[in-house]
Structure 1
């Protein structure tokens, strides 16, 4: 059977027909929007091919972005960790400074209550011998410190200077066995001597008669006798009062009010008599001068 059309239109005719058809479709789409639905359907059909063609490039960009984000996050995390460490270190310093400021305010408040010339000093060392209660402070003879000078903290009497070098001074605490201090009971004015026992939290009041008017909880203050310590400084509070039948005197112990094992700043106190003494003959400031007993 022979085909109906042995030869089709020439290529030129086909090109002209295709161009005319395309131009007609463009005019129809532009003027009347006839092909909008067809174009939408075709875009849905073609989208998977676009997606598959663009998938390698998309994955590559995502991986690169993820790696870059991870690197940025690691750098930011490291920077934040360093900053946090610095801030925490500074916070510790601020806490230390805050505590130091509180101690200094307490000391300054104590100096106001004392109403005398005072000098703030810091501890440099503590005698490690358990039987000697000595401190080394950072103020010495060049700052006017002298042997026998009273030393207090924000709460009460701590001791007295027993050696004054040019830049440092050694302080004998009231709890040392070689130290004794004239005191009186604030409640009734009863006079006594508070002696060190070698224990950092205990003083003893020897040679008090059994009928002495002293009670547990009584506040002991400096009596001012002897001219070494000014009168009225808190010293200790009575802890125990025992009257054993076999003893001629009562056994009385007291607990120091000063923070002997914790204070880092101390006050060196001048009183009129001690100022005159400090301004007198330097030979009077013997390094071997014994503490007041």
Structure 2
């Protein structure tokens, strides 16, 4: 029998049963019925609970990577936020510390300025307020630079004071700044008066005992000098007004074989930390000029020829 004559249709045995369209219609109707019944009477709720219980382990395992990723993201986000907050707190703390230091410094400057203004009211000499801007570059001298000069009518040799006492003397004047030699400089000398005894002397800058110190020289070994005596300006030099506090005697060394005593003093002014000072006019500038001597008139002699 040739192959082309064979019947390729399945035998009737395999074509029995409902058609696919019938099955679709029946399943759709059943699904619709179950949906209506579940929505109305909750008939599928027990089955849903059973399925959820059975599928929970698989669901738990499937959610682990997602949860780990979420926790990791939250951790790094929290860490970044905490670091940012810490940096902000440190910045605010630094600003507050800086402001606190500035407040203390401003309070100290305010107190010194008040004392300087009070001293200025008690002085009879004209004065100019100035500020110390930096120390001199020479490490072997005790000098500072102030922000006033020739433009502010600062004269050479003008006394310089702070709120506690005599600080030094103007030794160089420039157009906008001036150089002040402190009383603790080894080349500086100032006539002083012992307020307890009234004895006059000369105090020099001295660094043999410590950095900011002075020495009262040329005082006899048996002179009436005691520790704690206050030394003020005597006013006999024509530069410093009398009565300005200069130093206080700290230590006295008397030797039998020495004619003069070694008297060490501590300056009262803030020679190491002065910020605002007063520059006085030298005393000799306030003294009126000496009047000219009267020249006697020449009387012609008798009998002299005209």
Q: Same fold (TM over 0.5)?
A: yes
Provide the alpha-carbon RMSD of the alignment. 4.0
Deviations 1:110-146 (CA, angstroms, capped at 9, x unpaired)? 231242433122233424242x333332211111211
Cα offset, 1:150, TM superposition:
0.8
1:231 pairs, out of 216, 233, 242, with 242
| Contact residue 182 and residue 223 of structure 1 kept, 8 A | yes
- Counterpart for residue 133 of structure 2: 123
Cα offset, 1:20, TM superposition:
4.7
1:266 pairs, out of 266, 277, 294, with 277
- Counterpart for residue 80 of structure 2: 73
Cα distance in structure 1, aligned partners of 2:132 and 2:260: 40
Cα offset, 1:21, TM superposition:
3.9
| Contact residue 116 and residue 277 of structure 2 kept, 8 A | no
Larger relative CO (CA 8 A, sep 6+): 1 or 2?
1
Cα offset, 1:97, TM superposition:
7.1
Aligned residues: 269
Deviations 1:125-172 (CA, angstroms, capped at 9, x unpaired)? 424242x33333221111121111111233221110122121121222
Cα offset, 1:261, TM superposition:
3.0
Cα distance in structure 2, aligned partners of 1:274 and 1:142: 21
Alignment gaps of 5+ in structure 1: 1-5, 281-293
- Counterpart for residue 117 of structure 2: 111
Cα offset, 1:211, TM superposition:
3.8
| Contact residue 132 and residue 144 of structure 2 kept, 8 A | no
- Counterpart for residue 227 of structure 2: 216
Structure 1 position 193 matched with structure 2 position 202: yes
In the superposition, the TM-score normalised over structure 1's length comes to 0.71
Cα distance in structure 1, aligned partners of 2:252 and 2:229: 11
| Contact residue 155 and residue 281 of structure 2 kept, 8 A | no
| CA 92–197 in structure 1, closer or farther in 2 if over 3 Å, else same | same
Cα distance in structure 2, aligned partners of 1:257 and 1:269: 18
Deviations 1:157-204 (CA, angstroms, capped at 9, x unpaired)? 111012212112122221233322122223343332212235542222
